[in-house]
Structure 1
Amino acid sequence: MEFSDVENDLAEVLLTESDIHEKIAELARAIEADYDGEKLLVVGVLRGAVMVMADLARELKLPGLEMDWMAVSSYGAGTQSSGVVRILKDLDSDLEGRKVLIVEDIIDSGLTLSWLRANLESRGAASVEICALLRKPDAAKVEVDVRYVGFDIPNKFVVGYGLDFAEKYRNLRGVAVLAPHVYS
């Protein structure tokens, strides 16, 4: 879906599809350099990270790459994280001794990601690193060490490229700020 299809619902465009694809290619090169010759388990966080995970996985030139998915929630239908994390879908993979890369769409407060990293480390992973397309530095409530970050963005509610509001707008080809009249 194009921005023009829902332009009355958007306050401003932050990132185009081209911006995102260029950044994902850049992130993939850094990940390849760090994991050259290694087996890497990439864990996508459903549902928001679907687009990032798919594009990143296709871009990565790592023959030993494996993928798994986990669904956690701290939002519900709101626009702010509650900080209480629920596992909606757990991993199918055993993490014991594995190198794990969490792929996230966005880091807001950092609460969910901090919890998720600790959870995966407690399962015996050899290492757990994070790749996030977007990060809101002004929204951080906890410090989370993120190895690969695409873009720092303002602390506004954004949609598109997997990010939603009440399950809508995920299929926008880029990232835009949602107009307040939509969620007020």
Structure 2
Amino acid sequence: MPQAPADRLLHRRRRRRAGPLAPVRAGDPCAATLRHRPRAPSSRSREPEREHADVLVRLCDVDPDGVSRNVVDGIRGLDPRTVPADDVTVGDDGVLAVDVELFPTAYRVRAGHRLRVQVSGGAFPRYARNHGTGEPLATATAGRTCRFEVRHDAAHPAWLELPVLS
């Protein structure tokens, strides 16, 4: 699907704004065209700095020229009232394993393109800000930054499940 120049510029600005705080990983170029349907959950192990935080997982398609296009994303708000839950577990070391459900979609990745996974603490204005204080979103007056660490090791596996359609 062609993307208008304004959309590409806006995406570039969002990536720049995210800066080094948004872990991004792009894979190798695809050897053949893939058709896939992302299936929830996408799992990320993370260690939050605050009890009130958001985890956003976004999948992007990167063409051979480096132009990145959003494919699908999902967000999970964390709050002491909702942790632990079916989609958030707390390990013995205090690290949270968070399953982020991605919006249902189907997408074709062309040969030579790469897939990029971006993990961040939100995506305002697409999703409402989480002020990190526990105040109601509509009336919050204070805000606190939240840093988190995405872990990917034997004790804390992280993955994105992408079924490929034939």
Common topology (TM > 0.5): no
Q: Give the structure with the higher percent helix.
A: 1
**Which has the bigger relative contact order, CA under 8 A and spacing at least 6?**
2
Higher strand share: 2
| Normalised TM-score (structure 2) | 0.29
TM-score, with structure 1 as normaliser: 0.27
